[in-house]
Amino acid sequence: MQEMNSSRTSEDRHGTNSHTRNPENRFSFSSAQSGSTAATLTSASNAEQNHTEPYAGAAFETVPSSIVSFHHPHSFQSSSVLGGSVTSSTMGRRGRRSGEGDALVERPVAHSRSPSRNPHFRLFTEDQIADAEGVASTLEATDYDTNWDSTPAYEQQILEGSRFSSRRNSLRSHSVRSSIFSRSSYDSVDRDNSRGRSLSRTRPLHPQPTYHSSVHSSSSSSRYSTRDRIPSELEDQGDEMLNDGSSNGSLARSGSEDFLYDDGDNLSGQDDTHTNGHHKKPIYHAEYLQPRYHEKFYSNLPAKLYYQRFYVAEEDLVIGIGGFRTAKFRLYLYYLLCFFSLGMVYLLVRWIPYYRVKLYGVKVPLGKAEWVVLESELGDFSIVDVEREWYNRPMSTVLPITKEHMEDRGGTSFSFHHAGYLNPNIPILVSFEYRYITFIYSPLEDVFRSNNNWTDSDWVDLPTVYSGLSSGTCEDRILAFGRNSINLKVKTTSQVLFDEALHPFYIFQLFSILLWSADQYYYYAACIFVISLLSIVDTLIETKKTSQRLAEMSHFNCDVRVLREEFWTHISSSELVPGDIYEVSDPALTIFPCDSILLSGDCIVNESMLTGESVPVSKIPATEDTMYQLLDDFKDTQISAHLSKSFLFNGTKIIRTRIPKGQSAALAMVVRTGFSTTKGSLIRSMVFPKPTNFKFYRDSFKYIGFMTMVALLGFSISCIRFIRIGLDKKTMIFRALDIITVVVPPALPATLTIGTNFALGRLKGKNIFCISPTKVNVGGKLDVIAFDKTGTLTEDGLDILGVHVSEPSSHNLFSFGELQQNAQQVFPKFSLNDCSSPNDLRAKNFFIALLTCHSLRLVDNELLGDPLDFKMFQFTGWSYEEDFQEHAFHSLYDQRHEGDIFPENSDIIPAVVHPNSNLPNNRFTDNDPHNFLGIVRSFEFLSKLRRMSVIVKPSSDNVFWAFTKGAPEVISEICNKSTLPKNYDELIHKYTHTGYRVIACAGKTLPKRTWLYSQKVTREEVECNLEFLGFIVFENKLKDATAGTLETLREANIRTIMCTGDNVLTAISVGRESCLIDAPRVYISHINEGARIGEPSILWRNVDNYEDTLALDEPQFADTFEDYTLAVTGDVFRLLFDNESRLPESYRDTVLLKACIYARMSPDEKHELMERLQKLDYVVGFCGDGANDCGALKAADIGISLSEAEASVAAPFTSQIFDISCVLNVIEEGRASLVTSFACFQYMSLYSAIQFISITILYCRGSNLGDFQFLFIDLLLIVPIAIFMSWTKPYHKIAKKKPSANLVSPKILVPLCVSIFLCFLFQAIPWLMVQKTKWYIKPVVGSDDAVQSSDNTVLFFVSNFQYILCAVVLSVGPPYREPMSKNIGFIVDVVISLLFSIKLMFVNPSSFVGNLFQLTNTSKKFKFFIMSWAVINYYAQLHFPNYFKGLFRKKCSSKRYKNILRDQNVSLSA
């Protein structure tokens, strides 16, 4: 190890950092060599504790990266957001500092932006973001453009028997304690560091002192127990420093040196000084918190960076952070602008915060910022105030030491939590909070960092850990990490009301109301005001209800018993801090209040909150090795399998806790609190979902822009006409502004949500719940849907079809017996000792394997464990107990209690299996000692090994047996080959091809018959040279709705995919049974291990004919394009999308287009598949049942969860109907909602156009519509029609053609313009005709009170019919919605509106109603003409626009996958 360290040291000194030297060598977040995906804890493959599909071979992650972090940072691609590389942008940190007015750094002109990113930065340029200093939410040197290692963690984990389960640099070799004796330890830091990617700043050339301190850390009260955090030097210098404008007389050095002393007296004396000074000069203390005094405390580390980049790995999000201060003069100028503009400037700044920064923000270095601007690549723009408070502790107590510092070598060393040059004292804690992540300023790196990954180096010293924390340390950690609470900030009613009322929509409403009031349209203005007020109140109630529900779900508080100052006390769980020791065996504690590590005792927990599966998980106490692994894993935020066995996740339920013998409590240590925990990350992902980037919503704003242009055109025409007829300026202004409120109606945004709200209500009635309403319309555009297998397409549980026992057939030869479908057939005896033949002996051993080889637990007299284990044990009909003392288990009992010989085994309690005498078909004797078996040791299931083992001892005999069960291909490798039946592979092939799951069992007798040997023997010794015993055959039945749903989707031309962690042959069998696969040939992917130059690296072999291969890279494959499908395994998937993959893009596209089975897929690979399909422009859906699917559920455009677990709540849709039929409901409602939104949008546009035409014509005559005419049109005609139009239910059949979501296209805009022209034509002709009649009454120019005229009356009558009949034309029925005839509400409303409009025509103008509507006399003949004219208008609107729509049909799709398929079809026809 020393040689390795020295070689690395010399390598670093020459600046040949491997990361800098070769960017392709950077490791994957999901690999064991580097960090995982989150600032929160991420569990690597821990399938040995929890697995839905055991022995399947795919890694199951107890807390997969895609769950905890809810995003996977592209393990298979370089997602360069803005071009440039990390290495180029981070070399020589202090040499790359940006000045205020300069570009951050010169960089190459060529950009290689990944298509996966489309940044929307406004304040920062792309160059600034790319070149700024980059920090990630992991400690690993990763960033947004890091090339990830494609090999997942579970394939890089070394075996359980080794010291660690990770191949990262071991902390043991860099022990904190050894740093005192060795300068090559990881506490030693090279003073003259020239590494390419150093996060530390340039050091001075003169020598610096070497600081040494105690080996203990912040858990020791002797380090920094002082309560007063204000440096003593501050008291001594007083007013002088306030008046001193220079940077001399810094407090940093002296403040740091105070921490070099371990003398408690010195600290107490310092305490007194602090206390006295604090009372004398409090005003100075507050003054020193101002940013301008920053360099007084950090003269050696001045703040010079103006920008930085932060990569939130768990959200795959790049954030730019800039430091600013407020310019007082410009701030006062802003106040004046707000006052004189009547608040319009304030509203503009509120809606577009970018202008606030430009108005009164001044760029300053990050360390001196009064407030920071955070802008994400998604366009989110936030301004957050920076907080400053006294801290006066070393940096290592609040921020994790970076990996660069840990790997530095040289002559200067320091100990953790002792201030030194590379661990400076932090007099003032500079921080801010963004998205519930706390960012703390690091003066050493001159950037803001998060402390989610903080660890204490003393945690490896278990005796120190057990002593608990001091009060002073707890105070410090409350300041550094905040309270242990996940409390969402719920806005007050006044805040929600204020935010809603100042929304641009309601401000436009307010403008319209004020305009109408000024123009004396009081009735209409009052009605719109009441409607707006009701809408705001409704939104207020819904917002408060939703936020309150989420806050209640996230909030948790309880009392815990914690060790403080070496005394046990009860505190609130919100007061827990990292390092606290608390009791987990407290009966009042039912849920873990934070992320913890189990120190003593053992417990069984339910992690369904994270995994979505209620399978109990056993936790064992941590050892010293585990604590080193904890420190090692937290550097990369990935929890290894080794650590996860002792890790207790926040929010998970405690099923059972056992106190170790001789102790009074089971203990755990807090490692993470609040939003840094796994549950905190889950809640954060729900509060801040990624924005919906759906074309319909993007186009809606363009569409409104198009209508605004029409309004401006009308505005211009009206102004010219008003000037010509000599209208007064006041009336002219009011009328012109009124046109804007007509063309862009205030009710437009509200009507768009009506269809979606109706769809949500109908889905809720079908037990399908949606937390993201904007996703409803997206469901109408789905192109492909991926399904998980187990629990989604198939039933959750497995049923045993039967077992095959391996029987001796002749000398040294074995064969399988017949399929036995009940346990009595396997071993039909009364005692396990009754074996009269070799066949009986084999059957007995196999039966004992069924009885004992499992990981079940007994909790409250109920068996809990993996469903497969449960079904297997249930098949035997025996009983399982963990209290062996009720039975005569003497031999084992006596040996276990020889405490002087086996003291380490005093707390081991074996489980016992025995016959169940209560079962009527039980044949075994219950009191026979041979029928009592003790499970004395278990080797848990490991996904890498794909097997588990147990050691068993019978009560009556002094013998120990070992039994193993697992995947057949694995068991055959560890068995004695002579014990394998000849037809071993043939029988496996038979069952897997027909959709069954096969588990193999094997066993042997241990060579030594002692208790000590059974406890000390290694797993490798147990799992070798086994005797094969037989097969267990499980059947996984399809759910009733599966086949029918898949058939419906195929008829609708929606592609279906299976994405599972199960065996590829089983997946293909289920695919064929469910008709997901309809192609006659299925080709399975294989890696060509011995491929030579020119040979393909991937082989595709026919599942039914191994000799039949497919060459995808040859042109002739197109000849059979429709006759086959592909089945891709996880290892090939990684090879395909590896950064270094040399396969052409066309090859990978073909695989994505043709594969319908993806087997052996890990959660991160499922996530990656969703993104790969999206890059082909598929609108992707995913339907799954567990949190191992959570990453895919969130990555897909539409995620439908079939689980009620909290982890799956983050999916947009959650169904309480646990089959895939809910997918059809989501698609049907999505299509109906999309078509409804489309129709409402078009209808509101036509309504605006009709009214715009009416008033424009009237303006030409100097007149207008009356107040009650406006009121009748807008409230009695339009609103009911818009609501009832949206009431139509979805059509019962899903059509092949998907509805359009493109609002801005010639296909939509040209027919709209034709419709507007028809409306104008059918209004202009009657208007021209009425002027030639004898009874024509000319309008009074400029009069708003007297609008009675024939022009007004005729246009009012004609437009009424147009409003109603246009709604009928636009009310689309099949194939997306039910026929209009089934929408009774709409028909009734249309009929009533038509009858009322006709009745209004025949009202006496001198009557009350006639005066109210300001009508004039019209001849009967003309009235009948208007009605006939309306019918002609209806048919014209029905046919002419559709004719023009047909002229603009899209000839070429913009979607990549359609173009690829088209090109392949062209080559096929050629």
Q: Are 423 and 191 in contact (CB under 8 A)?
A: no
Distances (CA, A) of 1469 to 1110, 1119, 1153, 1371, 1466: 20, 9, 19, 41, 5
C-alpha angle 1147-1148-1152 in degrees, rounded to nearest 5: 120
Q: Which amino acid is located at 596 in the chain?
A: S
Residue in 621, 625, 674, 629 with CA at minimum distance from that of residue 648: 621
Torsional sign, CA 1017, 1019, 1022, 1024: negative
Bridge partner list, 769 = 1214
Q: Pick the catalytic residue from 519, 788, 1062, 1164.
A: 788
Q: Which residues pair with 148 in a beta bridge?
A: none
Distance CA 111, CA 652 (A): 46
Token pair 């042109």 is found at 1115
- The CA distances from residue 260 to 210, 257, 420, 654, in Å, are 11, 5, 8, 43
Cα 799–803–809 angle (5° rounding)?
170
Cβ atoms 1365, 1371 nearer than 8 A? no
Within 959-1097, strands assigned E span: 961-966, 996-1005, 1027-1035, 1055-1059, 1081-1087
Is 131 a catalytic site residue?
Answer: no
Phi, psi of 233 (to 5 degrees): -60, -30
**Helical (H) or strand (E) element with 391:** strand 387-394
Query: What does each C-alpha distance from 1386 to 288, 369, 1242, 1392 come to in angstroms?
Result: 70, 59, 17, 10
Rounded to 10 deg, the angle between the 522-554 and 504-518 helix axes is 160
Burial of residue 684 (number of CB atoms within 10 Å: 0-12, 13-18, 19+): buried
Centroid of chain to Cα 194: 38
- Nearest partner of 106 among 89, 123, 92, judged by Cα: 89
Q: Which two tokens stand for residue 609?
A: 């909150």
Judge contact between 565 and 220, C-beta under 8 A. no
Segments of 943-1080 assigned E as strands: 947-954, 961-966, 996-1005, 1027-1035, 1055-1059
Pairing of strands 799-810, 638-639: unpaired
Strand partners, 448: 441
Neighbours of 385 (CB within 10 A): 10
For residues 185 and 179, the answer to whether their CB atoms sit within 8 Å is: yes
CA distance 1284 to 211: 78
Q: Which residues contact 913 (CB under 8 A, 6 or more apart)?
A: 851, 852, 878, 879, 880, 881, 932, 933, 935
| Two tokens, residue 550 | 């989420």
Number of other residues whose CB lies within 10 A of the CB of residue 242: 15
Q: State the virtual CA torsion across 580, 586, 589, 593 in degrees, nearest 10.
A: 10
* Longest Cα separation, the chain: 124
Rounded Cα–Cα distance for residues 75 and 955 (Å)? 52
φ/ψ of 145, rounded to 5, equals -110, 25
Active site residues: 788
